[in-house]
Each structure stands twice: as structure tokens, then as C-alpha cells.
Amino acid sequence: MRIKTALPAAELGLYSLVLSGALAYAGRGLLEASQDGAHRKAFRESIRPGWEYIGRKMDVADFEWVMWFTSFRNIIVFALSGHVLFAKLCTMVAPQLRSWMYAVYGALAVMGTMGPWYLLLLLGHCLGLYVASLSGQPWLCLGLGLASLASFKMDPLISWQSGFVTGTFDLQEVLFHGGSGFTVLRCTSFALESCAHPDRRYSLADLLKYNFYLPFFFFGPIMTFDRFHAQVSQAEPVRREGELWHIRAQAGLSVAAVMAVDIFFHFFYILTIPSDLKFANRLPDSALAGLAYSNLVYDWVKAAILFGVVNTVACLDHLDPPQPPKCITALYVFAETHFDRGINDWLCKYVYDHVGGEHSAVIPELAATVATFAITTLWLGPCDIVYLWSFLNCFGLNFELWVQKLAEWGPLARIEVSREASLSVQMSRRVRALFGALNFWAIIMYNLVSLNSLEFTELVARRLLLTGFPQTTLAVLFVTYCGVQLVKERERTLALEEEQRQDKEKLE
């Protein structure tokens, strides 16, 4: 049930004040901890010279971020700038050939970066899945796609295939796994769409145009083949009103986010502190909770920047790419927890929705989530920590449905109806927000396992739930409750605005 009653102004102000004060208090604790730990021996590998003129060192624990925005930055800018330039010229001169330009430029960029043998390796996987698509059997295409993905995730095949990359450089392994994994998912999407639409007769050339689109090649996101093919095949693409302004705003936002993260890493060592458990254990409870929360926020910001950059280029190419991930702060249900909407769309279309149907029955939903997280585990690379992460998130997703079904059960449903009748709208909203707060911290804990370490997750859980009970536990839940209330109010406002927009369109 969507509650249309707005939060009272006083209540809304109180929640905002509590949330802002709690974040400021936790941030102060993290800032002091970062200053105290800057010269610790355990921090030396992850804290490097930064802004020496103000005496600040920089957290460089995330080597991917450091490489992307230092030594690899110029290569990314050069490659994407060339793509934009040639795409613009082709769109002006021969727009019907722009999809071929994307494929040729992308293939040449891959060959120049990773070598011709790596390009031939990927062409071999593309050809194999194209041949499978000719059979018209979805089970064969999906099975071969998963087998191809497994060959890039498990030894000895991964070691053999990595030998096709010539030369050595810092991000070779990242680019190898990224390009190979996304290639398999794209080729599988092509094969499954070919089986679903045998009358359209897609060609091998269509697959190559789809796979070697450079902005998506190494880092994603995934666009399913049907969406990409329909958009890239437009003979004379036309921009919507205000689209260029939106593209400029997205580009400016990505640049501002990069600068903000760089500043943040000079003052808050959120990635390095968890690696020293003895030091982390000395943090105040508020700072420790803020540290756990900050790790998830950083991972979201990192994904948002990466996808924001490539999506900006894709929008310049008249494509409508998958949206960036939803902010972790706005998540309080497992069904919306994903950091890559492209892969999420791929899994939902070909696995989750196909197996789970309407997602209203317990057994089909369990089968759908198990199948989905099994493929996700293969995508991430099978190992103990990934198994645990998959199990926890699979359990959380199903637990939400189990609670919903339990609430719909006869006696409990009558209690729910009577409770709704006896409680005011405001009180009912508060009860729902309380359960949302509990769910929010379950999401943080379950994902902290893979983003940081199991030991750090255990430390946070012990401090917040055991040694900090009841003061810390209740304080953290109250702050989170305030945040959930603000999120739900924002969602209510957006829903009402959407209703008004639709009503206006009907009147027009």
C-alpha cells in the first residue's frame, strides 16, 4: 500500500536534522581516526604521499581507482575521445554506417590494447555462440554461454586463455576479465534473442557490431541485444528536446564526483582502516558504523562514476543505456539491491523472470533466486567469500517474500487488517520504516562481506549488536529509521509527480 500522506514539516525537519548530525558525528570520528593512523606501519602500503602542501596523504588501497585516474586516465580519455570523434563524423556523413564504425573502431582499440591473439580468442567465443544460435534452442545457447563464462573464471582454462594477451601492463588482468566476461554475456544475449525471434534472422555481423561497441566493451554496462540493435539501427537518429543539456549535466556530475572522491581519500582512509582490525576495533561505535556505511557508499559512487562516463558517451551515440545503480542510501529492500543495472537487467530477463514468473509463489521464487545467484557467483568468480555473499543475498531476497506471504496468511492477514484499521496512517508508516531500517542494515552487512572482508564484517556486527547493545544498537537503528523515512517521503513525492505528469498527458 502506498501512503499518500506527506510527512509533517516538523517531523521531516527532525529526521533531516538527526540524520545530518549523525553523519557529521561519525565523519568526525573517521577523520580523527584517519589522522591518527596516517603514520601507522600497517598503513604504509595503502597510504601514499598526496597533498604534501597541506600535509595530507592519500588512501590508495583501491588500485583500480588509482590506475583509472592516474596512469590509465589518458588512455581512457584518448580512446573514448577518438570514438566520439569518429562517431560524430560518421553520423554526419553516413549515419547508416555508424554501427559498422563502432565495431571497427572498437575491434581496433581492443587489438591495440590487448593484442591480436586476444581479439582472435574473443572472435572464437563469438563464433561459437553464433553457431549455437542457429539451432534455435535457448537451453543450448544458455548452456554454452555459461560454459564459455566458466572458462574465463576457473582454471586451467583461464590460465591458458590469459596467455593470448600480449605484453604486460598494470590493468591487463582487469581488462582481460572485463572484456572476456562482458563478451560472453553479450554473445549469450544475442543467441537467446535470436532463438526468441527466429523471423528476424540476425547475422554474425550484427553480433560483432554489438560486442565491439567500445564504451561498453571492457567495463559494461550490458545492454541486451534487442535494445542495442533497435537503437543502433536507426538510420537518422534524432535527439529529444533537452537531451544535450542532460548529457552535459551527466558529464559534469561525473567530473565533480571524481574530484569529490579524490578529496575524500585525502581525509578519510575508509578502505585502509578496515585492513587493520586492531586499529578498527579501537574506533568509537559511531565511527565504526560510519566506516561500514562509507564502504558501501564508495562502491556505489565508484560504479556510478564508471557507468556515468561510458553512459555519457553512449548517449552521444544516440543510445539509451542502462541507468547508473540506485544509491545505496535509498535501498531498504533486497529486490532493488544491485550495483550494475545492466547485469541485473540481463539476469532478470533471461533467468530470474523466466524461472520465477510473477515472483509471487515461494517455490518458483526460490528456484529463480538460486539460479540467478548461481550465475552471479560464476560471473564474480567462484570462491568461499563469493559463495557466502551469494547465499546471504539470496536468503535476504527470499526472506522478504516469506514475510510477505506470512502476512497474507489467514489469521495474520486479519490481524494486519485490524492493525491497519486501529493504527493511524502516520503510525503505520513508522512501523514500516522501522522494518525498513532493520532490512537496510542487513543489506549493509551482507554486502560488506564481499566489499571488504569477513573479519571486518564480524567486527562490525559484534560491536553494533553485542558489545554495543542496547545504546549503540538503538542509536544506529534510530538514525537509519530517520533515513528510511526520508527515502520513503522522496519516493512518495516522485510517485505523485509521475501521476500528475501522466494526468497532464491524458488531458492534452
Is residue 262 assigned to a domain? Answer: yes
106-120, 250-264, 486-500: range with lowest mean pLDDT? 486-500
The pLDDT value recorded for residue 414 is 62
Residue 66, all three cell numbers = 588509482
Question: Is residue 240 included in any domain, yes or no?
Answer: no
127 and 198 co-located in one domain: yes
Q: Report how far apart the first and last C-alpha atoms of the chain are (Å, whole number).
A: 29
Q: According to the model, what pLDDT value does residue 334 have?
A: 82
Q: Are residues 500 and 363 in the same domain?
A: yes
Rg (CA), the chain: 25
DSSP 224: -
The runs of H, that is alpha helices, within 152-242 are: 157-162, 172-196, 204-211, 214-217, 225-232
Supply the pLDDT for residue 350: 93
283 and 223, same domain (yes or no): no
Q: Is the pLDDT of residue 164 over 70?
A: yes
Residue 2 lies in a domain: no
Average pLDDT over residues 374-402: 91
Residues 383 and 485 in one domain: yes
What does the mean pLDDT of the chain come to? 86
End position of a domain, from candidates 232, 260, 295? 232
Residue numbers of the domain that contains 487 = 9-53+250-507
Q: Is the pLDDT of residue 390 over 90?
A: yes
Task: Indicate if 283 and 386 belong to the same structural domain.
Answer: yes
Check whether residue 49 and residue 84 sit in a common domain: no
* Residue that terminates a domain, selected from 180, 203, 232: 232
Instruction: List the beta bridge partners of residue 149.
Output: none
| Residue 416: per-residue pLDDT | 56
DSSP state of 4: -
Q: Is the pLDDT of residue 423 over 60?
A: no
Do the domain assignments include residue 148? Answer: yes
Would you say 152 and 158 are in contact if contact means Cβ atoms under 8 Å apart? yes
Instruction: Answer whether residue 48 is part of any domain.
Output: yes
Q: Is the pLDDT of residue 296 over 80?
A: yes
d(CA 400, CA 317): 40
473 and 428 in one domain?
Answer: yes
Average pLDDT over residues 281-294: 92
Residue 196 lies in a domain: yes
Query: Do 132 and 90 share a structural domain?
Result: yes
pLDDT-derived band at 508 (thresholds 50, 70, 90) equals low
Look at residue 4 and tell me whether its pLDDT is greater than 50.
Answer: no
Percent residues over pLDDT 90 in the chain: 36
Question: pLDDT confidence of 2, banded at 50, 70, 90?
Answer: very low
Candidate from 217-231, 303-317, 328-342, 441-455 with smallest mean pLDDT:
328-342
- Whether residues 179 and 263 share a domain: the answer is no
Q: What is the pLDDT of residues 65-111, one digit of tens each?
A: 887 777 677 777 888 888 988 888 887 888 788 889 999 999 999 99
Question: Does residue 356 lie within any of the structural domains?
Answer: yes
Q: How many domains does the chain have?
A: 2
**Mean pLDDT calculated for residue range 277-291:** 92
For residue 420, what pLDDT is reported? 54
Last residue of a domain, one of 200, 232, 264: 232
- Same domain? 88 vs 27: no
Share of the chain above pLDDT 70, in %: 94
Residue 138 has pLDDT above 90, yes or no: yes
| Mean pLDDT lowest among 304-313, 343-352, 487-496 | 487-496
Same domain? 100 vs 216: yes
Predicted pLDDT at 152: 92
Q: Which residue has the higher pLDDT, 408 or 161?
A: 161
Looking at the structure, tell me whether residues 381 and 444 fall in a common domain: yes
Beta-bridged to residue 51, according to DSSP, are: 56
> pLDDT (tens digit, 9 = 90+) per residue, 393-417?
999 989 888 888 877 766 655 655 5
With respect to residue 127, please indicate whether it lies within any of the assigned structural domains: yes
Residue range 448-496, pLDDT digits in tens: 998 888 999 999 999 998 898 889 999 999 999 998 888 888 888 878 8
CA dihedral sign of residues 231, 235, 240, 244: positive
CB distance 433 to 485 below 8 Å: yes
